[in-house]
């Protein structure tokens, strides 16, 4: 990675020197180039920026966000972005190496700085976007940054933000309303991704794996979960998209649990893109499955 960054920096210096005048002349005729690290930030930037921004994501759709490393072409293009939006909280392992080398810190938005972070077993949970209230906080920061960069379209950014804020508030209220009569207080999940959601709506997550879905649970952990299932009245175990189902399937078969999907919305699958899904619609589907496990 260090060699890659050094090479990118060399290319950047040459590229900037050869094209500075051309880029300056065309700047006012182009939409803002907004780069984001992965899907939740893409959703916010697209909703607020609308037709006035060109939004690009480093992590391609359909790809697991946890271990992705940006390509050389992506890093080179990132130097042209007016703003780069990322999650922070150690979610993107590659970001810190880019700040002030590939892109200036003043052109970045670190979403985690604007949210109250939670810890699980001494590790910061980066999945802050699974709380709609956090998404509203980050959306406001993005709106203000776009207005700073493109004041002539202030009204559009403000209107788009208010529309998005209402949708997120409606989603938040729907969760509270439909989960208020919980019969169960916990769910079993494939990995520890749902702390913000659980804290917000008053339930607990019992994870098979840790913060990263790539962490393989120990045989002891699996045995403890199987024992817990036998002691309490669980009917479901939750599996996320873009993760290996192997361990969850073993536990489900051993305990006769039904597998449901709980989507951490770290990215969209090709099927979700084709069917027009977005953050809001997927969160609504998550709610329907949560109701099965917690309310019904």
Quote the pLDDT of residue 212. Answer: 63
Compute the C-alpha angle 293/227/288, nearest 5°.
10
Computed on alpha carbons and rounded to an integer, the radius of gyration of the chain in Å comes to 21
> Mean pLDDT over residues 110-124, rounded?
93
Cα dihedral: 179, 181, 187, 191 (round 10):
20
- Comparing 63 with 276, the larger pLDDT belongs to 276
Q: What is the mean pLDDT of the chain?
A: 88
What domains can you pick out in the chain, each with its CATH number?
A: 2-174 (3.40.50.1980), 182-294 (3.40.50.1980)
E strand or H helix that includes residue 74: helix 72-78
Quote the pLDDT of residue 232. Answer: 87
User: pLDDT tens digits, residue range 69-90?
Assistant: 899 999 999 999 999 999 999 9
DSSP secondary structure of 117-133: --EETTEE---GGGSHH
Q: How far apart are CA 205 and CA 237, in angstroms?
A: 11
Quote the pLDDT of residue 59. Answer: 94
User: pLDDT tens digits, residue range 125-163?
Assistant: 999 999 999 999 999 999 999 999 999 999 999 999 999
pTM recorded for the entire structure: 0.88
Quote the pLDDT of residue 168. Answer: 98
User: pLDDT tens digits, residue range 179-194?
Assistant: 999 999 999 998 899 9
Identify the band that residue 213 occupies on the pLDDT scale cut at 50, 70 and 90. low
Quote the pLDDT of residue 185. Answer: 94
Q: How far apart are CA 194 and CA 201, in angstroms?
A: 11
């Amino acid at each position: 990675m260090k060699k890659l960054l050094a090479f990118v920096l060399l290319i950047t210096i040459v590229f900037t020197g050869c094209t500075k005048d051309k880029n300056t002349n065309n700047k006012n005729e182009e939409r803002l180039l907004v780069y984001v690290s992965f899907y939740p930030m893409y959703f916010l930037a697209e909703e607020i920026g609308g037709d006035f921004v060109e939004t690009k994501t480093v992590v391609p759709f359909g790809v697991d966000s946890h271990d992705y490393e940006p390509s050389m072409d992506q890093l080179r293009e990132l130097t042209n972005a007016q703003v780069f939006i990322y999650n922070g909280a150690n979610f993107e392992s590659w970001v810190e190496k880019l700040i002030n080398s590939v892109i200036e810190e003043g052109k970045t938005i670190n979403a985690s700085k604007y949210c109250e972070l939670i810890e699980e077993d001494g590790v910061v949970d980066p999945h802050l976007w699974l709380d709609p209230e956090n998404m509203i906080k980050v959306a406001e920061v993005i709106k203000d940054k776009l207005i700073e960069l493109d004041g002539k379209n202030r009204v559009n950014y403000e209107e788009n933000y208010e529309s998005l804020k209402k949708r997120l508030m409606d989603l938040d209220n729907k969760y509270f309303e439909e989960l208020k009569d919980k019969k169960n207080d916990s769910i079993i999940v494939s990995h520890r991704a749902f702390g913000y959601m659980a804290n917000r709506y008053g339930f607990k997550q019992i994870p098979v794996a840790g913060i990263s879905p790539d962490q393989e649970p120990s045989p002891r952990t699996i045995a403890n979960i199987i024992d817990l299932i036998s002691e309490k009245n669980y009917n479901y175990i939750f599996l996320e998209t873009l993760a290996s189902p192997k361990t969850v399937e073993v536990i489900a078969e051993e305990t006769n649990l039904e597998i449901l999907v709980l989507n951490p919305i770290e990215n969209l699958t090709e099927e979700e893109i084709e069917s027009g899904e977005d953050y809001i619609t997927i969160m609504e589907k998550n709610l329907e499955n949560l109701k099965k496990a917690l309310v019904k």
